[in-house]
Structure 1
Amino acid sequence: MTQVPAKAKHHRSLFVLFITEMWERFGYYLMVGILFLYLTDNKTGGKGFDNKTGADIVGTFIALVYLTPFIGGLLADRYLGYIRSIFLGGILLAAGYIGLAIPGDTAMFVSLGLICIGNGFFKPNISTILGNIYNREELKPLKDNAYNIFYMGVNIGALFCNFAAAYLRNTYGWGYAFAAAGVGLILGLIWLATQLKHVKEGDIKKPLEKEDMPMSKIMLYVFLPAIVAAVIGWIIPGNLFGSDTNDAFMFACVPVIIFYVNIWRKAAGSDKRSIGALLFIFAISIIFWTIYNQNSTGLTIWAQTYTDRKVSGTTEQVAGKLGFLEKVTDSLRQTDKVDARLVPVTDTSSAIQAVKGKDLLLANGNLADSATRIVQVQGPDPYYNNVPPSEWPQGKTERLANTELFQSINPFFIVVLTPILVGLLVWLRKRRSEPTTSAKFGLALFISGLSALAMVFAVMSVPSVYTNKTAAYWLFITYFVFTISEILLSPIGLSFVSKLSPPRLTALMMGGWFLSTSLGGKVAGVMASQWDHFADKKIFFLIIAIAAFIGGIWIFARIKSLNAIVKERTGSA
């Protein structure tokens, strides 16, 4: 195990990139935190889509926003350089965020496209610059620690952005919230521009090696087949993955995956072993990122509709003055108009028993219309969809905690727990007991599975989620557990890629890391788009919990060979 020199100090570039990434992530997480809510809102100026369409758009967006680093990393590696790519990406991101404030579907989809392209140039290359600087011999022992600190910058931005989003959309409207994301990004770029002298040494453009595929061939063998595959996925009759966009994306990923496999196949010696280890980790990490991206999909639905968001007393007064409470008026009750939809349930008898004497389940006067389906009244807000109309606001205005505020729980725990866990790892390192990087990946998969399992218990905590709200503390529990896994995997993942990648392929392999994030985001969106088809919500969370446990077992089954590859490449496991 490599020892950290007593006098080793972090490079100034870490602070520069920390602040830059903090502002960039402020913008991104502000936007993605309210995107699903905006798409499904039909009361305060949103798009009014149903949950399936909203989840489909969000899942596709998250998938594309993390797929484009493959292209951005490649262009930065070979042509643009990293600093130029970061500024190009930042400008496109800011334009996209501000563009979301413009009314109309065309402006929205163009803006989402700009964000996807901008992230492709920004995201992999800022991480690569940090890795390049910390590849210096005297800084290598601090590399994992540096990525952990860098990752805190990500989460400080993610922590505060949701409060800004809640205040702005409650007070001024959706457009102002999206525009604020663009302002945050611009502030990050201005900061970086004033501090360039501290990061220039990381802007290393690697020469093209003879075994590297020329850009012309990549266009011919990767991008063109991906476009053709996407078109085929879009036009084939029916849907294999739930929608045309899902099919198009999944088909398009196949040539990209083949490209990475060919990089491994054509490599030799230690390069082949290290690339193979990275591809294995990328594949397993898809499970982790599926759970991670429930934050913007499944857990957003859970917080919006199934979680008790009522506040009272001092909390209500303070939150109200700060603009963190959204207003809900029982407009349907006032017009005496009630909408209803069929909801599948696995245990109709218990659902009926839970609401005996209430007016939630209606079917021409009957409680149930079959053995497996009940009728659920649609409330004036998604929050009231599983609340009996007798408990609606009755024509009054009620204030609820904004749904997006729950998305600050995870970054809050990141900021609080990172120093504790890093300190624990330093303590273990001094005693030569620190888990290897590969073991951290395995532990992260197991722990992320436990976070999904916590949501299974959340479902079980009430007689029926169709008739009862669950306590908010369940989201705190699941985010707390998941945060531990995230600290073990996400920042270390960036360091892991930087350590194992052949120098000329660093940004390209960073793109592969984000490809796994992309696929995880798409799978999360596909699952969330089928939310209403999961009659028993326990199954939704149980599926991803079991997948995570299997992924953890798979990593530990290969732990010896993974440790040997890392040690061969870096001198330590």
Structure 2
Amino acid sequence: MSSDAPVGARPPAGKTFFGHPRALSTLFLTEMWERFSFYGMRAILVLYLTAAVADGGLDLGESSANAVYGTYNAMVYLMALPGGWVADRLIGARRSVLWGGVVIAAGHYVMAIPTGWSVFAGMALIVLGTGLLKPNISTMVGDLYERDSPRRDAGFSIFYMGINLGAFIAPLITGFLGEKINWHLGFGAAAVGMTFGVLQYVLGRRNLGEAGARPADPLLGADRRRALTRVGVASVVVLAVLLVLLVAGWFTVDTVVNLLTVVTVLVTVGYFARILTDWEISGTERSRMKAYVWLFLFAASFWLIYDQAGSVLNIFAADQTDRSVGGFTFPASWLQSVNPILIIIGAPLAAALWLKLGHRVSTPTKFAVGLVLNGLSFVLMAAAAQAAVGGDLVSPLWLVAVYAIQVAGELSLSPVGLSATTKLAPVKYASQMLGLWFLATAVGDAIGGQVARLAGTWSQPVYFLTFGLASVVLGLAAVMFTRQIRHLMAGIH
């Protein structure tokens, strides 16, 4: 094992999973069921929020619903940061994944209660649980490989395929139950999926060896008590702020969404500042973190556009596409399964490609390709929106083509970004760096939720074309700075 491998990383020996450590199968299936629950709920969330009360929805305006959706996604990924801290300093990645799964399942069961308040209460629990599970299960995947092994990208691509297997199945089930029968029944199906995930993880933990068994940098004695006190004080402050908003009559959807967007950006800036000024990390680690800042900005810009699939594009699917096949009108949320099935097909190809190319194509170049493709998808979406001007229903194949382009971009950026994060991470911040990677999605989704408000005021063709071209330009700019970023990465490819 190399000297710069993550703390606690001891890849278990024994049978393999597609040529990779057997433990990858346990983490693969756990993540599959967690993503089933997450994407199953997400596929119908905006549709439920905007549905009329008579149809069992909350009758929230599209602008606010899009912002809620973006902020919810942002909070899911923002909480990955404290979730990584809990694993690194308190209980280890393995137990964090277990308790995270239990809390997520509880949140989905709360959402299944047929009342309006249950949805927001359930989302709060899911946010907390996903923060514990999401970064730490990815850290455990990284623990199975040497720091700069070429097989590492391939392993993360296979793991990514498990994510999308759950994401593919989920909308087909929750979408039919939610749109055709009852919204809360759809949320209940997501709860059952997460329950399967927890059970599978408990039964398969024997395969994990030492991966995630202990905290990377545990807090002990007085330091532990001091940290827990600060957590308690922070929790009281948050509750006090919410109480003030409630008493003052400012506790509205838009106020909370705007506040959380600001918090997400401030937390990001503060956390990068903390790592870069930490005297305990080496000069090489600091240089790699400077490179990571650029990768982070590219990733946030990518998710700003990409994750509108569940909000702006989902509403477009519901209102402006012809979904009738043989007299049956299929649920709009079923189109949310297109993206993951394409990734299921493409992920093994991407894994083989990265393994074959080895270090010949750098991580920054892969990110640039992802940005350009993501932008081109919105340029195509502008053409689809133009075809729908005047109230005509367009073929859902427009959305299929848009998702296909986005998938190519995602496979160039997302699994590669996961792997790059574990390679560039200072040892002291092993699990927290995975939280920081997911914070890129949080920033993108939080700002994207605010940007999505413009979809209700701008013409759709102008909206999609503007942000599509912006992403293409950013991707081309990223290509120009590839050499400088690689230099900062200090030998990491």
- TM category (shorter chain) comes to 0.7 to 0.9
User: Which residue number corresponds to residue 321 of structure 1?
Assistant: none
Which of 306, 316, 319 matches 1:292?
306
- Tell me if 1:93 matches 2:104: yes
Distance 2:284 2:243 in 1: 38
User: Which residue number corresponds to residue 450 of structure 1?
Assistant: 376
Distance 2:241 2:257 in 1: 9
User: Which residue number corresponds to residue 24 of structure 1?
Assistant: 34
- Tell me if 1:258 matches 2:250: no
User: Which residue number corresponds to residue 537 of structure 1?
Assistant: 460
Distance 1:527 1:416, change over 3 A: same
5+ unaligned residues in a row in structure 2: which ranges? 1-15
- Tell me if 1:308 matches 2:322: yes
Does the Cα contact within 8 Å between 1:229 and 1:248 map onto a contact in 2? Answer: no
User: Which residue number corresponds to residue 440 of structure 1?
Assistant: 366
More displaced stretch, 490-499 vs 544-553: 544-553
Distance 1:471 1:514, change over 3 A: same
Does the Cα contact within 8 Å between 1:74 and 1:507 map onto a contact in 2? Answer: yes
Which of 50, 65, 81 matches 1:40?
50
Distance 1:301 1:84 in 2: 38
TM-score by length of 2: 0.87
In our comparison, the structure showing a higher alpha carbon Rg is 1
- Tell me if 1:555 matches 2:478: yes
User: Which residue number corresponds to residue 408 of structure 1?
Assistant: 337
Secondary structure of 2:393's match? coil
Does the Cα contact within 8 Å between 1:125 and 1:507 map onto a contact in 2? Answer: yes
Q: Percent identity?
A: 30
Which of 155, 161, 165 matches 2:164?
155
Distance 2:404 2:191 in 1: 29
Does the Cα contact within 8 Å between 2:372 and 2:472 map onto a contact in 1? Answer: yes
Query: Which amino acid is 1:269 matched to?
Result: G
User: Which residue number corresponds to residue 76 of structure 1?
Assistant: 87
> Which whole-Å deviations, capped at 9, do the CAs of 1:428-471 have from their partners, x for residues lacking one?
44xx7x411121011111111111111012123x2x52321222
- Tell me if 1:487 matches 2:416: no
Distance 1:546 1:170, change over 3 A: closer
Distance 1:229 1:530 in 2: 32
Distance 1:170 1:243 in 2: 26
The 5 A counterparts of 1:326-365 are none
- Tell me if 1:516 matches 2:445: no
Query: Which amino acid is 1:260 matched to?
Result: F
The 5 A counterparts of 1:86-165 are 86-135=97-146, 140-165=149-174
Distance 1:532 1:52 in 2: 6
Distance 1:530 1:232 in 2: 30
Distance 1:420 1:184, change over 3 A: same
Query: What is the aligned-residue RMSD (CA, Å)?
Result: 3.1
Q: Taking CA–CA contacts closer than 8 Å with sequence separation of 6 or more, which of the two structures ends up with the larger relative contact order?
A: 2
Query: Which amino acid is 1:38 matched to?
Result: Y
Secondary structure of 2:394's match? coil
Does the Cα contact within 8 Å between 2:155 and 2:351 map onto a contact in 1? Answer: no
Does the Cα contact within 8 Å between 2:51 and 2:60 map onto a contact in 1? Answer: yes
Secondary structure of 2:324's match? coil
Secondary structure of 2:57's match? coil
More displaced stretch, 23-32 vs 164-173: 164-173
Distance 1:540 1:217, change over 3 A: farther
Counting helix residues as a fraction of each chain, which structure ranks higher? 2
TM-score by length of 1: 0.75
Distance 2:244 2:300 in 1: 21
Does the Cα contact within 8 Å between 2:322 and 2:395 map onto a contact in 1? Answer: yes
The 5 A counterparts of 1:160-171 are 160-169=169-178
Instruction: Give 1:417 deviation, angstroms.
Output: 1.7
Distance 1:218 1:410, change over 3 A: farther
Distance 1:168 1:229 in 2: 38
Distance 1:129 1:525, change over 3 A: same
Distance 2:261 2:39 in 1: 24
Instruction: Give 1:549 deviation, angstroms.
Output: 2.0
Distance 1:96 1:209, change over 3 A: closer
Distance 1:443 1:165 in 2: 33
Secondary structure of 2:329's match? strand
Distance 1:234 1:281 in 2: 36
Does the Cα contact within 8 Å between 1:308 and 1:471 map onto a contact in 2? Answer: yes
Does the Cα contact within 8 Å between 2:375 and 2:471 map onto a contact in 1? Answer: yes
Distance 1:105 1:80, change over 3 A: same
Distance 1:557 1:277 in 2: 14
> Which whole-Å deviations, capped at 9, do the CAs of 1:373-426 have from their partners, x for residues lacking one?
xxxxxxxxxxxxxxxxxxxxxxxxxx4220100101100110112223333344
Does the Cα contact within 8 Å between 1:226 and 1:252 map onto a contact in 2? Answer: no
- Tell me if 1:528 matches 2:452: yes
Does the Cα contact within 8 Å between 1:233 and 1:248 map onto a contact in 2? Answer: no
Secondary structure of 2:322's match? coil
Secondary structure of 2:210's match? helix
More displaced stretch, 404-413 vs 504-513: 504-513
User: Which residue number corresponds to residue 259 of structure 2?
Assistant: 248
Distance 2:288 2:228 in 1: 24
User: Which residue number corresponds to residue 387 of structure 1?
Assistant: none
Which of 473, 496, 517 matches 2:397?
473
Query: Which amino acid is 1:538 matched to?
Result: P
Does the Cα contact within 8 Å between 1:208 and 1:504 map onto a contact in 2? Answer: no
> Which whole-Å deviations, capped at 9, do the CAs of 1:74-95 have from their partners, x for residues lacking one?
1111001111111111011001
Does the Cα contact within 8 Å between 1:233 and 1:251 map onto a contact in 2? Answer: no
The 5 A counterparts of 1:360-399 are 399=328
Secondary structure of 2:384's match? helix
Does the Cα contact within 8 Å between 2:154 and 2:352 map onto a contact in 1? Answer: no
5+ unaligned residues in a row in structure 1: which ranges? 1-6, 317-398
Distance 1:88 1:228, change over 3 A: closer
User: Which residue number corresponds to residue 374 of structure 1?
Assistant: none
Number of aligned residue pairs: 466
Instruction: Give 1:67 deviation, angstroms.
Output: 0.7
Does the Cα contact within 8 Å between 1:287 and 1:544 map onto a contact in 2? Answer: no
More displaced stretch, 73-82 vs 39-48: 39-48
Distance 2:73 2:370 in 1: 22
Instruction: Give 1:245 deviation, angstroms.
Output: 2.5
Does the Cα contact within 8 Å between 2:291 and 2:486 map onto a contact in 1? Answer: no
Distance 1:233 1:71, change over 3 A: farther
